[in-house]
Amino acid sequence: MEGEAAAAILQTLVQNLIDLCKKEISQIRDLKKDAAKLTKSLKTIQKFLNDAETRDITSEAVKEWLKNLEDVAFDADNVLDELNYHILSKQIKPAEPEEEKIPSCFSRLSCFSCCKNLSRSRNVALKIKEINENLESINKEATDLGLVGRLADEPTLVIAALETDSYTLDPIFIGRDDVASKIVEMLTNSITTDDERAVSIISIVGMGGLGKTTLTRKVFNHLKDETRFGSHIWVHVSPNFDALTLFKKILKELTDQVEGENKQDILSKLQQALKDKTYLLVLDDVWNEDRSKWEEFMNSLLGVSSVKGNAIVVTTRSMKVATIVNPIHTHELEGLSEDECWSIIEVKTFGEGNVPSEFAAIGKKIARKCQGLPLAANVVGGVLRNKSEEKWRSVEEKWLSADEGGDNITNILRLSFDNLSLPSLKKCFAYCAMFPKGSQIMKQELIEMWMAEGFLQADERDDMESVDEKFINVLLHNSLLQVSWRYANRNVNKCGMHDLVHDLACSVLSSSNSSRVRYKTLEEDESSRIPKEMAKSLRTLLLTSEGDISDINFSDFESLHVLSLLDSEVKELPSSIQKLIHLRDFDISKTEIEVFPDWIGEFFHLQTLRANSEYLRKLPSTIKYLINLRHLYIDSRVELPMGIGSLTSLQTLKYFPVGDENGCKIEELGNLNNLKGELLILHLERVHDKEEAGKANLFKKSKILNLCLMWGWNREGERNDEDVLEGLQPHSDLRDLKIKRFNGKRFPSWTLKMAVRDAPHGSWVVLNKLMSLELWYCDECEEIPMLGQLPNLKSLELREWRNLKCINSSFYGMVNKDTRIVFPSLERLELWSMPNLAEWAEIEISDGSEVKLFPRLQHLKIYDCQQLMSVPSHVSSCLQHLEIGGIGVECLPADWLLSNSETLSTLAISECPNLREISDRWGEEESEGRSFTITSLPIFPRLTFVHIEGVPKLSLETMDAMWRLQIHGNKFIYP
């Protein structure tokens, strides 16, 4: 299958070349004919590749043809890219006026420059002519080899999978007993509940070789032995998910014969076979991701049986498939532990006998290489049976050869690769082979590398980053990548690759490459040993070694698109890097470089610059020439140059420090309307008024989801924070807002209402998508904005409000007949350092009706509010963490604890010198209420942490009981 993979991967490169021909060469008058000829040749090759991709290529001649094509295609890509570079150079850096009027004494220099351009044009033309000749030769060779030009078909699933059944014995079943029991229990419960459904579906999803079929067979046979169902049916699903074919297989399982060809006949016989019996149906190895096909199958199946209490188990490698089947439960199968893999190898090699210690030591290392795959453990165990210690050591060092079963494992895993319908997606997967085994790959960095390598051209609806994001998800869902780390919001941060999947990626990459190496990670000090011929063809180079790189001649790496200097002790960039005109992704984030050289502005193709180093202090003014720059990663302390606003392609610019000079002011943000993600604007004290602030056009930047607006410390002179903040009105889709060191007495209208003015209609639009709000160091503010009406606000943090005296009822927002839930989504509320806050008012309800306040609040923290004597009586009914410190209240509302007795897990009260009781007397006469000690409160079954300190006025009985309180098994035990 090597040839087919190579053909599929080359499709991406050829299509990119066709696009370049149309976009760049055809615009140059003298090269129009050559461009047309090149386009025609490439389209012919594309048709041959379509044919090669559908064949089982074994011919060494065809494989050689593919490798020759790759070499020519990459050469063509370099030539066209070089031409594009020089076109950009003329557009971006036109001759300066003083250069145009050259004195006669320098006329020879001017003539030389003209000759140089003429020479360059001739050189490019000759290279294109040579490429055309090579492509003509390759096209002729394709015909001689029997390849046929064909138009691309719709992506189809080309998979050759082994048929599975319910009878095969699995003599070794280790590590899955609990999972099997859980699934059996779920299926049993699903058919015995009172409101029985017609069919209960369970999905089992995981990568190839993880043991989905073995587990399902265990469950199937267990339920069959217990006769839980009237019929037990096992069907291995063909890659081509066809309802009629499936019904024929089901009927054959039930009756051992299939008569009739049309769907009506088959369904009629299936109805007779099932009659009034329940059934358990296993659909093993499902690949179909077309929801309509699944619905067609299920609608017909439900039509042939009206009996309730049936069950279907679906096994699949794809999370998308697992979702489409609408299961009551999806079980993501995990890998076995190292010990469980060793147990499989142990049984395979020595049966019930004892394993000699010298073999066991080696075997445990081999088990580690299986990385949780029972398939690998079974295969390697069979290979090691009755083998010498020397053979065991050989397998531990080199793993399995092709004839020992290594190919068998690879081919099973390869089915997931074959399921990737897009050639560009296959190329993206193969590229991951470049990273060392066990690497944690930053998702965003990987996306930007794919983009730099040109694996993807976005259509009008999507930009490259969003399409590459989808590619990441497809690879994750097909278990070709694994999640290594997630952010708190569950978004993927880092990915990894199973070692055996990494072997597959290496196999695919080597099959699609010529003898030239294109992508390489260099560990230790290998760089000086790269031959010049290899350097010439490299397109990605990751230098992870520490040490001096000054002796590397980077001009030898003339094709580089991606260069990362990682963990290198680099203080200055070698001048030879300047020659890398194809560079699109440049990473110096781990270096000690303090200042970039001016020639960085000559990387006209550059799309990503990672310079978020703690050492970098400023960027050169030439950065403004990088018009293709999409992602600029810098530290917040880096000084931006004048004219950063000319980089209109920028999507990532996390920090913008406002400058004093023209070209550095906030108006530079005005044209950067493609910015997305997060943006921190610093030194807002340098903005003079609302009009100047408005030039940032924040309301137009609809892709900025996280916005932080920050003034500086130790300001002098007039303060116009209210006016400036008014001009910084964002768009209505904002998710996260932080405002820090705002020194106005009152927030401007949009902030106070938490709503922005819709310019076309002049109406106010509430920030309904806002999820997190932080207002810090608002020392002069006297009123908190209206926040209770925000439907999706989950986190609210207020710090250092030194002038705030009261949290009044406006805090809760507009409460009327249409608003009966206030702060409906808030989960975390924190109040810090409000020394003059005396009152936190109750919510005011004019009509006396019931209103829910903080219904989802889980975390409440109040610290350093010494004057606070009044708090709302009701907080939440699902509070998990309650922390109070440094507040002035004398009585804590009992409702804060009573309402949360079932959920509270953390209770901390500290430095509250006036606190003397917990009471329900809130707002009533003392005689009408009750007072509680801690020990008289109800049991808190989830409470695992209690801390009380610096509360001298609580009764001795209460304090004594609290200190002697013990937690055992999450239950209170009173002494």
Residue 742: per-residue pLDDT: 95
Instruction: Kindly state the tokens that stand for 911.
Output: 């430095």
Can you tell me the mean pLDDT for 617-633? 93
Q: Which residues contact 790 (CB under 8 A, 6 or more apart)?
A: 754, 766, 767, 768, 770, 773, 813, 823, 825
In the chain, the percentage of residues whose pLDDT exceeds 70 is 82
Residue 514: per-residue pLDDT: 62
pLDDT band at residue 844 using 50, 70 and 90 as cut-offs = confident
Please check the confidence at residue 130 and state whether its pLDDT lies above 90. Answer: no
Can you tell me the mean pLDDT for 648-666? 91
Highest mean pLDDT among 57-61, 719-723, 895-899, 918-922: 719-723
CA distances from 786 to 709, 769, 833, 844 (A): 19, 15, 20, 14
Rounded distance, CA 413 to CA 422, Å?
18
The three-class DSSP label of residue 206 is coil
Please check the confidence at residue 192 and state whether its pLDDT lies above 80. Answer: no
Please check the confidence at residue 956 and state whether its pLDDT lies above 70. Answer: no
pLDDT band at residue 973 using 50, 70 and 90 as cut-offs = very low
Judge whether 79 and 127 are in contact, CB under 8 Å.
yes
Exposure string over 830-840, b if 16+ CB within 10 A, otherwise e: bbbbbeebbeb
Point out which residues pair with 764 in neighbouring strands: 757
Q: Which residue has the higher pLDDT, 479 or 633?
A: 633
Can you tell me the mean pLDDT for 196-207? 87
Please check the confidence at residue 416 and state whether its pLDDT lies above 90. Answer: no
The three-class DSSP label of residue 798 is strand
* pLDDT tens, position by position, 485-494: 888 777 888 8
Q: Give Cα 793 to chain centroid, integer Å.
A: 23
* Three-state SS letters, 586-612: EECCCCCCCECCHHHHHCCCCCEEEEC
Average the pLDDT over each of 168-172, 360-364, 817-821 and give the range with the smallest value.
168-172
**Neighbour order of strands in the sheet with 492-496:** 441-442, 492-496, 482-486
Can you tell me the mean pLDDT for 578-591? 94
Residue 668: per-residue pLDDT: 94
Can you tell me the mean pLDDT for 715-742? 92
Please check the confidence at residue 118 and state whether its pLDDT lies above 60. Answer: no
Q: Which residue has the higher pLDDT, 974 or 326?
A: 326
Average the pLDDT over each of 475-484, 688-697, 737-746, 803-812 and give the range with the smallest value.
475-484
Query: β-pairing, 763-766 with 755-758?
Result: antiparallel
Sign, CA dihedral 828-443-327-209, equals negative
Residue 135: per-residue pLDDT: 80
Can you tell me the mean pLDDT for 666-691? 94
Mean predicted lDDT score pLDDT of the chain: 81
Instruction: Kindly state the tokens that stand for 903.
Output: 């959920």
Please check the confidence at residue 96 and state whether its pLDDT lies above 60. Answer: no
Q: Which residue has the higher pLDDT, 400 or 219?
A: 219
Highest mean pLDDT among 184-188, 517-521, 773-777: 773-777
Residue 220: per-residue pLDDT: 92
Please check the confidence at residue 38 and state whether its pLDDT lies above 60. Answer: yes
pLDDT band at residue 99 using 50, 70 and 90 as cut-offs = very low
Residue 9: per-residue pLDDT: 66
Residue 234: per-residue pLDDT: 92
Alpha helix segments (H runs only) across 145-290: 177-190, 212-225, 243-255, 263-274
Residue 707: per-residue pLDDT: 97
Can you tell me the mean pLDDT for 50-58? 63
pLDDT band at residue 836 using 50, 70 and 90 as cut-offs = very high
Residue 170: per-residue pLDDT: 58
Please check the confidence at residue 569 and state whether its pLDDT lies above 80. Answer: no
- Of 592, 626, 624, the closest CA to residue 611 belongs to 592
Q: What is the DSSP letter of 356?
A: P
Average the pLDDT over each of 9-23, 165-179, 462-476, 674-688 and give the range with the smallest value.
9-23
Phi, psi (degrees; rounded to nearest 5) at 218: -65, -45
Please check the confidence at residue 15 and state whether its pLDDT lies above 80. Answer: no
Residue 907: per-residue pLDDT: 87
Residue 774: per-residue pLDDT: 97
Rounded distance, CA 726 to CA 949, Å?
44
Q: Which residue has the higher pLDDT, 61 or 767?
A: 767
Exposure string over 270-283, b if 16+ CB within 10 A, otherwise e: beebbeeebbbbbb
Q: Which residue has the higher pLDDT, 175 or 432?
A: 432
The three-class DSSP label of residue 447 is helix
Residue 433: per-residue pLDDT: 92
**How many CB atoms within 10 Å of residue 481?**
26
Point out which residues pair with 543 in neighbouring strands: 522, 565
* pLDDT tens, position by position, 877-915: 889 999 999 999 888 887 788 788 788 888 888 899 888
Q: Which residue has the higher pLDDT, 108 or 336?
A: 336
Residue 962: per-residue pLDDT: 44
